[in-house]
Amino acid sequence: MSEVLTIVSLSADASDPARRAPGATGPVLIRSKQGWSIAETSVKPAPELVSWLEQEAASAGFDWAITPPTGRKKRLLISDMDSTIIGQECLDELADFAGVKAAVSAITERAMRGELDFAGALTERVAMLRGLGLEALDRCHAERVTLNPGARELVATMKAHGARCVLVSGGFRFFTSRVAAMAGFVADRANTLVDDGFRLTGEVAQPILGREAKLAALVEEAASIGTAPSDALAMGDGANDLDMIAASGLGVAYKAKPVVAARTRARIDHTDLRAALFFQGYAPDDILSS
């Protein structure tokens, strides 16, 4: 069965790799506007297609997705927050206020690569924050947290077409609640930092939301709108996103760790989050700014 190959670029003609891709049968549909070059073509199964795309994308700077020809526009967007919807790892930035960023960041990197147990790594990192005043959380959000390009447009456009948009994070609700409001998500799920009213205790409220809980969130959120995980776009960058991404109808690796990218057929490394709309068949004129 033929699938759809979508190539998206902000720096080159997307139609050229679309025509040359292994298994491409054409014709090539081209959509271009405001610097975007988007090309779609039908492809037959070709064992070498993914490796070819990886090599070409690295040198030409384009993003790509291979999707079924039907059911492309999803009714659910469920996305990781840190290093996906925002450009930071909130726990790492918060650790900077406690003077332990280097140690915390090193653990974060290993956990996101799948080298450490997520819950154990989270517990270890949060313990380093014991005694940090709660005012640091407000400062961290105000001074450090920024949305990645295309985040608002992705959420606004999918919401306008009837999709439910949910933020799900192995981080903390202090940040997800604020980022959800910034980007337009209608709901958020995350962990909770324990405090004594003045300072962090160095503990995480149980149960910890990790890899399994992200998958459960996908299933539950899909059921809440009467659909299946196959009708969802799931997006993330770290190993704790893998089950959620694998179970969705369109799993997108956003500037992801190798262990995540290797399990996906849709990758954003060179453009921005709006590419996830083009992967679903949206045209540039469909995109809303907020």
What pLDDT digit, counting tens, does each position of 236-284 carry?
999 999 999 999 999 999 999 999 999 999 999 999 999 999 999 999 9
Mean pLDDT value across the chain: 96
Phi, psi (rounded to 5 degrees) for 271: -105, -125
Predicted pLDDT at 273: 98
Res 290 pLDDT > 80: no
Predicted pLDDT at 1: 81
CA distance 262 to 240: 14
What pLDDT digit, counting tens, does each position of 70-115 carry?
999 999 999 999 999 999 999 999 999 999 999 999 999 999 999 9
**Domains delineated in the chain:** 1-70 (3.30.70.260), 73-88+147-290 (3.40.50.1000)
**Residues that are catalytic:** 80, 82
Predicted pLDDT at 135: 98
What pLDDT digit, counting tens, does each position of 161-217 carry?
999 999 999 999 999 999 999 999 999 999 999 999 999 999 999 999 999 999 999
